Chain A
Amino acid sequence: MTNPRRQLCWRSVFVTFAVCTGTMASGEEDRTVEEKETNNKKRTKGAIATAWLTFYNIAMTAGWLVLAVVMVRYYLQKGTHKGLYKNIARTLKFSQTFALLEVGHCAIGIVRTSVIVTGVQVCSRIFMVWFITNSIRQIQNEESVILFVVVWTITEITRYSFYTFNLLNHLPYFIKWARYNMFIVMYPLGVIGELLTIHAALPYVRRSGMYSLRLPNKYNVSFDYYYFLIIVMLSYIPLFPQLYFHMLRQRRRVLHGEIVVEKDE
């Protein structure tokens, strides 16, 4: 027979966790949750969600840390980046693809970020990994690949450890600082790496006609991967500034407590 007082203590711990989860697992928004959850079911759901998210974020931090260690060791041993991609390919694909779960987290509501924003971000990563780097062998030893992989690794380690520490309710300031400052340099560098990689891949795509469909065919449609990639590159022009300034606004709000008046739609 359980001691009712002890039960109550556990509940309040879970409630705190759940409330903090609602706040901090949001990551992008970092809002403070004002309402207290009074429903028992909600509390249990909150506890399971917290436990899962903590596990997920620790696992992802570990995954990207492994990637970082492998890259550093390879470079120290071989002194060159040639052949590095082959070594990290599996871990990179695994870690980045696993991030699809984050879209699910937003969809079921345990993380308070827009499904679309997360979806777009994860999809663009998946696209780079699977449809560019993985499928176009000839560009795998380009410096630009190493550039964006390094940028991603630094960014993801910072981001996932930020979420982890938030969930554990103990956020060292330097992690918060890193999360909201490193992107200022990392973001543009990552974009440069990605664009240079796609650009390098263009001639091979054109020559091989990969992922393309020509007329005539019974579906009466055609698709040219070469021109598709050019459109993707051009789309960085409107999209990158929007994301960058969004992060800058988040940074001002979180670090300096400035109140930014959002324009009403």
Chain B
Amino acid sequence: MKHYEVEILDAKTKDKLCFLDKVEPNATIGEIKSMFHKSHPQWYPARQSIRLDPKGKSLKDEDVLQYLPVGTTATFYFRDLGAQISWVTVFLTEYAGPLLIYLMFYFRVPFIYASKYDFTTSKHWVVHLACMCHSFHYVKRLLETLFVHRFSHGTMPLRNIFKNCTYYWGFAAWMAYYINHPLYTPPIYGEQQIRLALIVFLFCQIGNFSIHIALRNLRPPGSKTRKIPYPTKNPFTWIFLLVSCPNYTYELGSWLGFTLMTQCLPVAAFTLVGFIQMTVWAKGKHRSYLKEFRDYPTLRSPILPFIL
């Protein structure tokens, strides 16, 4: 069995960073990253980007050395992705924040509203309902992060946690301030509006959860395979016929429901910004589905059936 030699150069300066000899032909990029980490302990594998070309795409951890277009002396280029943090950590932090922050406003913790309102409760029942819905939503997200989602990437750049937490925590505080305010005005159409909103909210929460379960079942544990999602026996997944990313569709629906329920402009703003971001993600996902699968159903739109 012929052994390979691997040299790793810096993608920018082309300096020789590491030389590995007697590398097995069936070694994976992941294993090479571990070897590289030994000689450069500050660059743990998650922050290494190894590529064939300094300006090219990153190779995957699963790629096997002998199947790559390299000679017996393989030259790879390295780029530091910067400090990394795991997706699970980011998700847990960014979702725990809104849960706790909203409750602080709901219980009217001191120094938020005028002191005569400290620890009082709202006289409007919709405010209690909104707190239950909002809390349920984030508890669901936390549990899904821990038990449902199967992440393709292990890590993301560290700076993302600051960006994401600012977004989630900031909006949560802004919304919660007004909904739980002593001068809150309940919805114009009263009980009818709130009831309709609650139905929409619950429907979309169940839908969103159903999609997450369906996506999880596409992928065996520990794998990173990608398959086309199809409708299952669960009616909430039948939307896959029309949409590539129905999890985002249902998420939008949930927040529209919450907006209707609370009749609060900051909630509408949060829904709008979230919708814009999810549309960007959905379009990207839709495009990669089309690129990867020849037989991808043509009826599907990225996020809104027939529209977007």
Contact indicator A218/B185 (Cβ below 8 Å)? yes
Q: Which of B32-40, B207-215, B216-224, B257-265 contacts A (4 or more CB under 8 A)?
A: B257-265
The answer to whether B178 touches A216, judged by C-beta atoms less than 8 angstroms apart, is: no
Question: What residues of B have a CB within 8 angstroms of the CB of A221 in the complex?
Answer: 178, 264-266
**B184 lies within 8 A of chain A by Cβ:** yes
| Count of chain B residues with a beta carbon within 8 Å of a chain A beta carbon | 14
Instruction: Judge if A264 is at the interface, Cβ distance under 8 Å.
Output: yes
| Contact residues, B228-279 vs A (CB, 8 A) | 262-266
Q: Which residues of B contact A264 (CB under 8 A)?
A: 12, 79
Contact in complex: A216, B263 (CB < 8 Å): no
Q: CB-CB < 8 A to A217: which residues of B?
A: 185
Interface assignment of A219: CB less than 8 Å from any CB of chain B: yes
A36 to B85, CA, bound (A): 44
Considering only residues 210-264 of chain A, those with a C-beta below 8 Å from chain B are 215-222, 264
Q: Are A220 and B188 within 8 A (Cβ)?
A: no
Chain B nearest CB, measured from A153 CB (Å): 37
The answer on a CB contact under 8 Å between B184 and A220 is: yes
Q: Which residue of A lies closest to B179 (CB)?
A: A220
Q: Are B262 and A220 in contact (CB under 8 A)?
A: yes
Q: Are A216 and B266 in contact (CB under 8 A)?
A: no
B300 in the interface, Cβ–Cβ < 8 Å? no
A264 CA / B185 CA spacing, docked (Å): 49
CB distance from A136 to the nearest CB of B (A): 26
Q: Is the CB of B184 within 8 A of A219?
A: no
Q: With an 8 A cutoff between CB atoms, is B307 at the interface?
A: no
Decide yes or no whether B1 CB sits under 8 A from chain A.
no
**Cβ contact within 8 Å between A219 and B181:** no
Contact A215 B263 (CB under 8 A): no
B68 within 8 A of A: no
Q: Which residue of B lies closest to A214 (CB)?
A: B183
Are A220's CB and B181's CB within 8 A?
yes
CB-CB < 8 A to B178: which residues of A? 215, 220-222
A219→B264 contact, CB < 8 A: yes
Contact with B along A44-66 (1 / 0, CB 8 A): 00000000000000000000000
Q: How far is the CA of A264 from the CA of B183 in the complex (A)?
A: 49
Given contacts A218-B188, A220-B185, 6 further A-B contacts (CB under 8 A): A215-B183, A215-B184, A216-B184, A220-B263, A221-B264, A264-B79
Provide a sorted-by-A list of 27 A–B residue pairs whose CB atoms are within 8 angstroms.
Answer: A215-B181, A215-B183, A216-B183, A216-B184, A217-B185, A218-B185, A218-B188, A218-B263, A219-B263, A219-B264, A219-B265, A220-B178, A220-B179, A220-B181, A220-B185, A220-B262, A220-B263, A220-B264, A220-B265, A220-B266, A221-B178, A221-B264, A221-B265, A221-B266, A222-B178, A264-B12, A264-B79
